[in-house]
Amino acid sequence: MPPSAEAFEAERPHLVSVAYRMLGSVAEAQDVVQEAWLRYTRAGDDIRDLRGWLTTVTGRLCLDVLKSARVSREAYTGQWLPEYFVDPDPGPAGQAERRDEVGLALLVVLERLTPEQRVALVLHDAFAVPYGEVAKVLGTTEATARQHASRGRRAASEGGVRHNAGLAEQRRVLTAFLDAVNSGDLQALAAVLAPDVVAISDGGGFMSTALRPIVGPEKVARFFVGVVHGGRMDGLVLKPALVNGTAGVYATGPLRGALAVTVADGRITGLFQQLNPAKLSVSDLL
């Protein structure tokens, strides 16, 4: 089929979703999709499966970005978290999680994979791209593509934070956490934090925050109580939100940012705090 702007625009949301899952950056995802458009306009009329062709091209472009991003992210100040999709909390009427939302916990885990593992895992597991096509994206054999996906899957399962709670339970536990932090009640905090809880903050060098993950309920509790009661939070306003489909809050006032949690078995297993202003531009709420 000859290049068609209308046909491409119909596929753009799918392509941005593919690229965002691989890159964790909205701006990078949009840049990749724009490059895919340019390649599409030069492709001629031999494309029979437009979505498949564009997905393959997007995957190849993302692989190149991931390989170059390794250098820049290793030099990144502090912890790197993906850009957030922050939406107003819809309340009881909107409690069903969005099926197409890219879970924050998954994106954090994907950061630990090699570029090849990440591309293979996302293409095959999230978008059902056959291993033969994944192999073409990676420039390797089908057997090797399977191996990349398998290793990525295993690394993701071993290194991920536990997250099995529905949205209603996430909200309940998050509310209990915030109440305990505001009151400075360390005992109440310990009751809502899992033994293996981890807190990761991304300030990007713009905001002062923990440069390494904080692990364990006592350390996590003291960190958040110290932040809130350290004298810099006067005028801070927290509002409920959905952050990549999970319960969270966004902050305005002396601190701009968003916090999302992962919850399992009634306790918080992960707290992910995004304070880098460059990664909050995806939302007009902040």
pLDDT tens-place string over residues 89-119: 655 544 444 434 567 778 888 888 999 999 9
Burial class (CB in 10 A: 0-12, 13-18, 19+), 185: middle
Q: Pick the more confident residue, 104 or 53.
A: 53
Q: Please give the share of the chain, as a percent, with pLDDT higher than 70.
A: 87
- Work out the pLDDT band at 161, boundaries 50, 70, 90: confident
For residue 260, how many other CB atoms are within 10 A of its CB? 28
Asked if the model's pLDDT at residue 2 lies above 70, the reply is no
For residue 281, the model assigns a pLDDT of 55
Of 68, 178, 63, 155, the residue nearest 108 (C-alpha): 155
Q: Which run of H or of E encompasses 269?
A: strand 267-274
For residue 230, the model assigns a pLDDT of 67
For residue 36, the model assigns a pLDDT of 97
For residue 19, the model assigns a pLDDT of 95
- Work out the pLDDT band at 74, boundaries 50, 70, 90: low
Is residue 201 classed as helix, strand or coil in its secondary structure?
Answer: strand
pLDDT tens-place string over residues 172-188: 999 999 999 989 888 89
Average the pLDDT over each of 37-46, 154-163, 192-201 and give the range with the smallest value: 154-163
| Strands ordered across the beta sheet of 257-264 | 86-88, 237-243, 246-252, 257-264, 267-274, 193-202, 214-215
Asked if the model's pLDDT at residue 137 lies above 90, the reply is yes
Please give the structure tokens belonging to residue 80.
């790197």
Beta strands 193-202 and 267-274, pairing class: parallel
Instruction: State the chain's mean pLDDT as an integer.
Output: 85
* Strands, E assignment, 114-266: 193-202, 214-215, 237-243, 246-252, 257-264
Average pLDDT over residues 50-64: 95
For residue 228, the model assigns a pLDDT of 77
Asked if the model's pLDDT at residue 274 lies above 50, the reply is yes
For residue 142, the model assigns a pLDDT of 97
Asked if the model's pLDDT at residue 50 lies above 70, the reply is yes
Side chain identity, residue 258:
A
